[in-house]
Structure 1
Amino acid sequence: MTATMPPEWAPQDWLWIGFPHDAEEWPGYLERAQEQIAGFANAVAESGQAVRLLVRDAANEARAKALVSASVDLERREYGDVWLRDTGPLVRGDGVAVRPRFNGWGGKYLMEGDQAIGAQLAGDEGLALTEPDWILEGGAIDGDGTGLVATTEQCLLNPNRNPELTRADIEARLRDDLGFDRVLWLGEGLLNDHTDGHVDNLARFVAPSRLVIPRATGPDDPNVDIYADAMRRAESFGVEVVGIPSPGRITRGDFVEPASYVNFAITTHLVVVPTFGSVHDAEGVAAIAALFPDRATVGLPADAVLAGGGGFHCASQQMPVLARA
């Protein structure tokens, strides 16, 4: 049986984080996005966990150095997007790094370096590497450490990823390459999520067979039906579902943002929750804190990061301790 990925709450050696660098991706928001990612990196480093902040070039290294504490290590890398959850190595408990092919979220956003950064990070750490011949982003899956994984039909069954693969084929790939022997299929992801519905914005495991899903916080919540459908599917599957508040309707101009507290990052000593200036921020952070009594929880502004298409979980990838044993 293929070893599965340790759950995110397992001890971590360090956290890789991508530093925003492309003004075209964050028009009018780049400086604030950099500040918010730096705040994320600082919080994790100050909690006692190693952080490796990837920077694109000398200018961005200087910018990052001015924003982060000396506890954050800077690494110059040639990456495109900052979303290392999707492009970084998926490390199994046996120390094997898995890096399936990457096609820019269905061919929508292809940037130089994104198809190679995962293998480079794994290679630099001396990890055994396997590169399965199918498309998969790390944010499209979330495992509980027992072989159970959650995903969405909108993403993994999308014809812009693996049109030649059936649902059964994908389940077999998840089993053979990543050790997931049970798949919880949710339906649609959040409205306007350019990743085609990544599960890490919709539903996250916080313990074996215990899944967090947002609940709508008002009649104008843009994802009220999506949350309800996810809850029905998860409960029918037999997992314990914990509802937490959603941020509600978050807009940038006329655009409805795919804002979610579920895009939190779990680290060894700290859980970092994105906040958006919503009246529900404090309630959302408190609800997540209650799920992690063994570590601190903090809410940090992430509205500018979201303007580039993701959140703290999207921008990071952990290196589990078990993989180094």
Structure 2
Amino acid sequence: MRFTLLPEWAPQDAIMLTWPHKDTDWCDNLATVEPVYVTLCQHITQVQQLVIVAHDAALKQHIITLLEHAEVELARCHIVIAPCNDTWARDHGPLSTMSESGELAIKDFTFNGWGNKFAAAKDNAINQVLAEQVMSHQCHYQRVDMVLEGGAIEINEAGVLLTTSECLLNPNRNPHLSKAELEARLTEELGATSFLWLDHGYLSGDDTDSHIDTLVRFAPDNTLVYVQCNDKTDDHYEALKQMEQQLKRFTTATGEPYRLVPLPWPSAKKDDQGVRLPATYANYLILNSTVLVPIYGDEHDQRALAQVAAAYPDRTIIGIDCLPIIHQFGSLHCITMQLPKGFLR
């Protein structure tokens, strides 16, 4: 039976968050970061349910207190206790596939800390806990012996899989697999019908080896939403211009060009040491009736919201201040994972 990775605009039961805590790299930023998580919880629970991974029982109680104060509907929140190294749910969370008959198969790929850059053993065990505690018994749960992060891939309703060569072909992921072998595995596990390999584009401060979700996103009806840099003095200009040219050459199964929706390029955001942070508007989160878009207190925020609205005209567009999040070198999409309709028991 063929199972295909669901596009992110497929109907959802919930969004998964893994909460930051004092034993993560967020320890010095908790006072500014937790309010962003609470704001996310407020918006998510307006339209669907929420699964929160808490490092221990004490953190679970702390989260409950925060959510109660923010008047979040706790009945829509499922808090699971599981030790975690960090909070990047997009990359350690489960990938959900569906058969033509509507059966769900939940794929648990190996997360190795973006090429063994960071400890990830605890994060890599979280999906097993989700399967045991909140996943429907109707779902098939499968461990997959292959390194893959959710932020590294995008798929559309036709099964076209979009990724970057810099990430998936990096020897720090699956060095024993050639490009052809990777495609064969992704076809087998995720039902991909064809592949678009992006060879250009990067984001300063990014630890992921150019995850696609920071650069280009699929939207319905053969649409690609991408970051565009028109500032010739910016270090990203040349790479992103080459990326844009490659996107213009991509064609659908019927030979038509994709509809391209460019996102503006935010002005440089830096930390206290002057290190540039990976601010990108492409790292948005699609909910059942809403799209949450990262904003950065930037002059381009409103233009970004308008462009995302053009790509998802059936959804309400809401900006979320993610300036605190990029201080740990990720953004809104990176800290979340959607769980499809039928996932929760």
Query: TM-score, normalising length from structure 1?
Result: 0.93
2:308 pairs with 261, 275, 288, which one?
288
Offset of residue 296 of structure 1: 0.8
Structure 2 distance, partners of 1:99, 1:42, is 28
Higher mean displacement: 134-143 or 48-57:
48-57
1:224 alignment counterpart: 237
1:138 partner amino acid? G
1:186 alignment counterpart: 198
Contact 1:41 1:53 in 2 (8 A): no
2:131 pairs with 112, 118, 122, which one?
122
2:181 alignment counterpart: 169
2:112 alignment counterpart: 103
Offset of residue 115 of structure 1: 1.2
Contact 1:99 1:131 in 2 (8 A): yes
Structure 1 distance, partners of 2:210, 2:225, is 16
Structure 2 distance, partners of 1:134, 1:251, is 35
1:240 alignment counterpart: 259
Contact 1:189 1:199 in 2 (8 A): no
Kindly tell me: are residues 49 and 220 of structure 1, through their superposed partners in 2, closer, same or farther at Cα, counting changes over 3 Å?
farther
Structure having the higher Rg: 2
SS at match of 2:147: coil
Kindly tell me: are residues 155 and 272 of structure 1, through their superposed partners in 2, closer, same or farther at Cα, counting changes over 3 Å?
same
Structure 2 distance, partners of 1:322, 1:231, is 37
Offset of residue 43 of structure 1: 1.0
Matched, 1:92 2:97: yes
SS at match of 1:99: strand
> Residue by residue, what CA displacement relative to the aligned partner does 1:47-73 show, whole Å, maximum 9, x if unpaired?
x21112222223322332233233241
Contact 2:213 2:282 in 1 (8 A): yes
Offset of residue 323 of structure 1: 6.0
Q: What's the C-alpha RMSD, in Å, of the aligned pairs?
A: 2.0
Offset of residue 227 of structure 1: 2.1
1:58 alignment counterpart: 57
Offset of residue 217 of structure 1: 4.8
Kindly tell me: are residues 221 and 71 of structure 1, through their superposed partners in 2, closer, same or farther at Cα, counting changes over 3 Å?
farther
Matches within 5 A, 1:19-98: 19-22=19-22, 24-26=24-26, 28-46=28-46, 48-68=47-67, 69-72=71-74, 73=77, 74-94=79-99, 95-98=104-107
Offset of residue 4 of structure 1: 1.0
2:265 partner amino acid? S
SS at match of 1:115: helix
Unaligned runs of 5+ in 1: none
> Residue by residue, what CA displacement relative to the aligned partner does 1:256-300 show, whole Å, maximum 9, x if unpaired?
111111100001011111111222112212221222221111111
Higher mean displacement: 227-236 or 150-159:
227-236
Contact 1:302 1:311 in 2 (8 A): yes
Offset of residue 112 of structure 1: 4.2
1:308 alignment counterpart: 328
Kindly tell me: are residues 33 and 216 of structure 1, through their superposed partners in 2, closer, same or farther at Cα, counting changes over 3 Å?
same
1:140 pairs with 152, 156, 164, which one?
152
SS at match of 2:146: coil
Offset of residue 82 of structure 1: 1.0
Moved over 3 A (4+): 219-222, 322-325
Contact 2:112 2:120 in 1 (8 A): no
> Residue by residue, what CA displacement relative to the aligned partner does 1:33-57 show, whole Å, maximum 9, x if unpaired?
11111111211112x2111222222
Offset of residue 24 of structure 1: 4.8
Query: TM-score, normalising length from structure 2?
Result: 0.88
Structure 2 distance, partners of 1:194, 1:18, is 18
